[in-house]
Amino acid sequence: MFLKLIRGTNPGVIFLIILTLGLFWISAFLNPHLPGSYIYETRPMPFYGIIKFLFNGKPLPGVIFSFLLLSGMILLVTNFNTTVFFINERTFLPALIYVLFSALIPQNQTLNPVLPAALFLMLAVMRIMDSYRKPGIAFNFFDAGILISFGSLFYANLVWFGILLLTGIALLRTVNIKEIAISFLGLVTPYIMIIGLFYVLGKDIGTFLADIKENLFGYSPEYSFTRLTIVVLIYSALIILVSIGFLIARMNSKKIQSRKTFSLLIWGFVISLVLYFSLPSVSVEIIWLTGIPASYFLAHYFVFVKDKILPEIFFTGFYLLVLLIQVFYIF
């Protein structure tokens, strides 16, 4: 069975991930395109503005750059479970599932600020969980705050994930005003540095602040979903809900660190959904962030569910439907 084949960590699974990555991104290389007129494109944050300047409006180098970032991202996704071991199983499934999410919206497979921001978010979550059972003041939250803040200088709405800092303190530590303060300091430090640099260079700080406001609260064009994409999104939402229900039902049987890690991921998942449904500046690009916790929820479900037929149908169906989206997009 397909799912049984890819649950492990043998070289064949690595080959399948590489094959899937190439297969599901071939449309991006065959038909490279420029990003849409989203706010983060028309009024880019500073770090993303530098990247746009370097690529000078050329779509293919942008696709290559995003492909390389995604390759690094799936390594981080795998490494996080290997390090914390919260799924309690050595598996490459989270990486494979994240590749599927990366191909669900073909228009996202281009140069964009959310993928580099996702890398910073992943690193921040890893730093937060590294504070588990550390004595004294955990400066991990300062590091995590800086990472989230740097990521928001690519994609402004990542700053809302600063909520994870407070969540991490509440989950992992005895609440300490010093750790809350250093978390906030980590979040604001990169912005203080950028404002100071703008001042020294004689740049318009007011324009920078206006760009931040527009990126957070402005209006991005609505994405036009195809009927097939709507079907696949509903299908993926169904299996994500099933996997979350499966996880919650078994949460008390897990080790403390695993429970806290999954709790932090659930918070990240909820934050991304709230942003999508409440902020007009957030569009389908948020799937780069939503896909991180969703990949772990689904991987946990597919690894531990005892039913053999239903998860096989869920996974194979999801794989084939995303492949179908890619085929229709090419032709």
pLDDT one-digit tens code per residue, 69-117: 999 999 999 999 999 999 988 899 999 999 999 999 999 999 999 999 9
Tell me what the mean pLDDT of segment 153-173 comes to: 96
pLDDT of residue 290: 98
pLDDT of residue 12: 83
pLDDT of residue 34: 86
pLDDT of residue 2: 76
Q: Sketch the domain layout of the chain as residue ranges.
A: 2-330
Cα diameter, the chain: 64
CA 324 – CA 331 distance, rounded (Å)? 11
Is 208 within 8 Å of 195 (Cβ atoms)?
Answer: yes
CA 81 – CA 265 distance, rounded (Å)? 12
What residues contact 213, with CB distance under 8 A and at least 6 apart? none
220: DSSP letter: P
